[in-house]
Amino acid sequence: MTTTPFSLSVVIPVYNEEPNVAVLAKKVHDALSAFGRTYEIILVDDGSRDASWERLCEAARMYPHFRLIRFRRNFGQTAAMSAGIDAAKHDVIVTLDADLQNDPADIPLLLAEMERNDYAVVSGWRKDRKDPFINRRLPSILANGLISRITGVHLHDYGCTLKAYRRNVLQGVRLYGEMHRFIPALCSWVGGEIAEVVVSHHPRVAGKSKYGIGRTFRVILDLFTVKFLLRFTGGPMQLFGKIAFLFGGGAAIMLLIVLLERLFGSGGAEHLYLIKRPFWVITPFMLLAFCMQFISMGLLAEVQIRTYHESQDKRIYAIRETFESPPA
């Protein structure tokens, strides 16, 4: 069990969050300055197109312990988290969204649970989530169930960015593609114990959400990669997977037509496609074969990309500039 207090690095990806930066900076500063721990706040501007960087610099001049990283372009949330984690200096790394829906005041709850039971990862659970049901909560429920089942790491809320990780566990995890949502499962693979803590959640009051029901499709594709990596050892799978789903979708539609014809066909037209047009049986199975072929190609490409990055220590982001708060 740990006997000394953790020092803390908070990593916050920022993309087009100009209206929220000032309030975010104050809330994080207030939460951590009153916590009584050594800390740093790392905000990564993921190529924002608004004035987020200028607002971040203003906040860093106003509050101590702020460290800013600015990307040359938008590389995605996984890359932003990876850059923040690479730059972090302290014992525990906490990740947090910049949209103010997570409450920085909940960070001590995660650390208390980590210290009490010596967990490697403590994940936030937005039990009372303040998001629309159809396009946010429903896809999240489906995705959480699917991810838990496939990875074997059962969490209620994989999508909650508010999580605490021991630095020494994260050092064994490499992030590529869109893998940030699977960090707990990857940490479990390297031997870390995981817990959940209920955290508060607030509706978005400013800025535009970057999430939606379309992300569920990307989660399904990424799950192939995660399952493969967890079992046998970012994102060509995104390209090959989309092609595979096109073939698989076409096969499913054709098989559905054949099934409906068989069930509801009548008179002389009964079994028309099955008997007189074998094309409708042969083609969907051929498309399914193409689907599996492209998924296999995607998995092989993911392994090659992983080898490329790790053998050359190639990073998945490019930093334009950095900025730090003046000494207190």
pLDDT tens for 251-307 read 888 878 777 777 776 555 555 555 566 676 678 888 888 888 888 877 777 777 666
Can you tell me the mean pLDDT for 94-99? 91
Residue 228 located in a structural domain:
yes
> Mean pLDDT score of the chain, rounded to an integer?
80
Query: Using an 8 Å Cβ cutoff, are 21 and 14 in contact?
Result: yes
Report if residue 1 sits inside a domain. Answer: no
Using alpha carbons, select from 178, 31, 54 the residue that is nearest to residue 100: 31
Res 59: pLDDT:
94
In percent, the amount of the chain with pLDDT more than 90 equals 28
- Who has greater pLDDT, 75 or 279? 75
Do 264 and 225 fall into the same domain? no
Same domain, residue pair 305 and 319: no
158/180 Cα distance (integer angstroms): 10
- The pLDDT assigned to 312 comes to 55
In this model, does residue 2 exceed pLDDT 60? no
- If one counts the domains in the chain, the total is 2
CATH number of the domain residue 149 falls in: 3.90.550.10
**Does a structural domain hold residue 2?**
no
Domain that holds residue 286: 236-312
Q: Are residues 293 and 319 in the same domain?
A: no
118 phi, psi to nearest 5 deg = 60, 40
Q: Which of 211, 182, 195 has its CA nearest to residue 101? A: 211
Cα 296 to chain center, whole Å?
23
**Shared-domain flag, residues 222 and 288:** no
